[in-house]
Amino acid sequence: MTMNAFLEAVPSWIRGHTNLVWGLSITSLVTFVATLAAVPLLLTWMPADYFLHPPREQPSGWNARHPVWRVAAKTIKNLFGAVLVAAGLAMLVLPGQGLLTMFVGMTLLDLPGKRRLEVAMLRRRQVHRAIDWLRRRRNRPPLQLPEK
């Protein structure tokens, strides 16, 4: 299919799938608004020295909980992180703060090598400056990074 044929077929496809297009549009809008609220909160709640210490296996408050609750909480946390990473990827081409959303999603995921990827993302000047700007607005100290 040539590009011209594709571009001519798009409007008819949209007319044929209006419910899908509306659903995706509403989902995109809700995700955009939710990340505008959630991402700055999560980035300002993070301790400034978060990346200077090795990650903990489990939050101390959850150690005394029933194992089912620990597994459920970890599952929900990972699902939320995956949704944020996916939304951040979409926001690289859609309106939104894609890199920051992906960064917050990565911090919630439990993956091997996650810390190295997070620090690599933070070492990008644009990302680090944006996070520090958000933290300054909430009277929080800038994030500290480990030495290279």
pLDDT on residue 60 = 58
Average pLDDT estimate for 3-24 = 83
Termini Cα distance of the chain: 49
Cα–Cα distances in angstroms (integers) from residue 145 to residues 5, 27, 140, in the given order: 50, 35, 15
pTM, 2 dp: 0.55
What percentage of the chain has pLDDT greater than the value 90? 9
Tokens of 131: 């996070």
The 10s digit of each residue's pLDDT in 68-125 is 888 888 899 899 889 888 888 887 777 667 777 888 888 888 888 888 888 888 888 8
**Average pLDDT over all residues of the chain:** 82
- As a whole number of angstroms, the distance between CA 33 and CA 55 comes to 30
pLDDT on residue 30 = 82
Average pLDDT estimate for 2-23 = 83
pLDDT on residue 58 = 47
pLDDT on residue 39 = 77
Other C-beta atoms closer than 10 Å to the C-beta of 59 total 12
pLDDT higher than 80, residue 32? no
